[in-house]
A and B are shown apart, each in its own frame.
Chain A
């Protein structure tokens, strides 16, 4: 007989049938957008357009319009790049790693988390491309025959590894996401009444019919993609960290970077998933699917990864002292007490201190508190990258070239623009795509639905 621990809470609340899940998932697609959607969308669009303007100004004039100087050659652009890539880690972690671990609570949130991944990696990709200055020569990073020899790309360089890592990650995430979307698009297609809508979803659903053999392959493909995406997601931020770790800048030249960056990425990614899903579940009335239990689970992940990040910070400090290298020692002393002390302590407060509240069940099941913390964590993670990048660069070996960095309005504008672009994409997604992987979710209704579970345990008592 099937036995399940009484600790297992239902993952789908209320008395749902398969049809009810369908209805709940398509509701945002089939109904007109609420006013609040239009309001948020307009704000995001304005931010996005402002960013486009700033990018156009950068391309037209040159990256001299940014706040960079001879000493600080990397600043907001790379900070934002690493920040966005980091956020992009949670989606694949939820859909791939949790699939391998057979964590069924992932099913209600993996679709949106993957969407978030894709949209944030798109933002990340913009920064290195525009930092090239002459963006029309961006294709030079690809290993293609050219007129200079051929002079090939340098496969010894972490920057090129990054090109391969980010593009593989983005494209594999898109494919993983889309494979899961096909059956759900078919569901929307089969219900659509409006001919235009029906036609669009017909194109998107690739003719999916739910044949038994197709499902068998679907499950195998999902499993293999999860198996491929798991090391991939770990490799991406590892390689991003190598952009720094393989250099000889004090504060960057550390072997702890790969695991520390990966933990930080998962940390910030889950925080962004929280921010988005707390809004989505409220606006689209998905409280029965994205339950408080889901939120709590993610808060636990945030607490654990936040603590890992905290240990990494302390290890860095210890190793700087223990190494006996005075440049390294100064780099960390300067971080904590130098002119950018406020950035360092914002980072410490937001990333190490704030997630510790999640030890308390009352707090980690409190939605308002969770929302606040999720934003605090992302601010903290932005500061982490800023601290690593700018404070390490602004005072290195040669005191005569020490300087400070302050962003120009273009730096700020582009960053604001990517936030706008991200939300434009996410809001469009939320109105047109099934935000919950309904086909997958239906597979756990009988085992994890509230009514079904209750029915099960009542019957169990009679035997």
Chain B
């Protein structure tokens, strides 16, 4: 069953300059081909726009994680200092959480940052498929040095567009 449908061959075009890459991506997309992936050795500014990638929502996620951290901190301080075992510590008022709150500001702040930073980074690793020992995601090792690779499904007339766009090497796999 699996053998009946041949997978579409993938074309990989290598570029040697980030500016050439950006204009190539624009040309390829203008010619009507869909780019599946671009591998670059460093963040190329404007590449996400040229590829038509959506903006990432990870900052919003970090904000949510921060709110979660704040909630945890409020709950923790309220339960331990006000509810479960209230004590007179240096005469600080602790009739309710609000009265004692000024002394908790550092804890509220630190836990907000702690949750926002760590959970955001965990999210970042998970959605990018990054974990210790994972196989390299880039098909060509040169793309972490000074080459830029555009990957897309093979199609008619694609080779000419790629050649014209300034690709230094084109391979089909």
**Which residues of chain A have a CB within 8 Å of any CB of chain B?**
17-19, 22, 143, 149-158, 160-161, 164-165, 168, 171-172, 175-176, 179, 182-183, 186-187, 189-191, 202-221, 223-225, 228-229, 231-232, 235, 239, 242, 439-440, 442-443, 446
Q: How far is the CB of A331 from chain B (nearest CB, A)?
A: 22
Contact flags (1/0) for B33-46 with A, using CB distance below 8 Å?
Answer: 00001111111110
Q: How far is the CB of B56 from chain A (nearest CB, A)?
A: 5
The docked-state distance in angstroms from the alpha carbon of A452 to that of B135 is: 35
Chain A residues within 8 Å of B118, by CB: 171-172, 175
Tell whether, in the assembled complex, residue A155 and residue B109 are in contact, meaning their CB atoms are under 8 Å apart: no
Query: Which residues of B99-125 have CB atoms within 8 Å of chain A's CB atoms?
Result: 100, 103-104, 106-107, 109-111, 113-114, 116-118, 120-121, 124-125
Q: Which 9 A-B pairs have the closest CB atoms?
A: A209-B137, A207-B134, A190-B141, A209-B138, A18-B146, A152-B80, A206-B130, A161-B106, A442-B42
Tell whether, in the assembled complex, residue A220 and residue B129 are in contact, meaning their CB atoms are under 8 Å apart: no
Number of chain B residues close to chain A: CB under 8 A: 65
Tell whether, in the assembled complex, residue B43 and residue A231 are in contact, meaning their CB atoms are under 8 Å apart: no
Partner pick for A206 among B44, B45, B47, B132, CB 8 A cutoff:
B132
Tell whether, in the assembled complex, residue A215 and residue B113 are in contact, meaning their CB atoms are under 8 Å apart: no
> A152-B81, A152-B84 given. 19 additional CB < 8 A pairs?
A153-B80, A154-B87, A154-B89, A155-B77, A155-B104, A156-B89, A161-B107, A164-B107, A205-B136, A206-B131, A206-B134, A207-B133, A210-B42, A213-B128, A215-B48, A216-B56, A224-B59, A225-B120, A235-B109
Tell whether, in the assembled complex, residue B51 and residue A212 are in contact, meaning their CB atoms are under 8 Å apart: yes
Chain A residues within 8 Å of B124, by CB: 179, 217-218, 221
Q: How far is the CB of A236 from chain B (nearest CB, A)?
A: 9
Q: How far is the CB of A161 from chain B (nearest CB, A)?
A: 4
Tell whether, in the assembled complex, residue B80 and residue A215 are in contact, meaning their CB atoms are under 8 Å apart: no
Chain A residues within 8 Å of B40, by CB: 210, 212, 215
**Which residues of chain B have a CB within 8 Å of any CB of chain A?**
18-19, 37-45, 47-48, 51, 53, 55-56, 58-59, 62, 76-77, 80-81, 84-85, 87, 89-90, 92, 100, 103-104, 106-107, 109-111, 113-114, 116-118, 120-121, 124-125, 127-138, 141-146
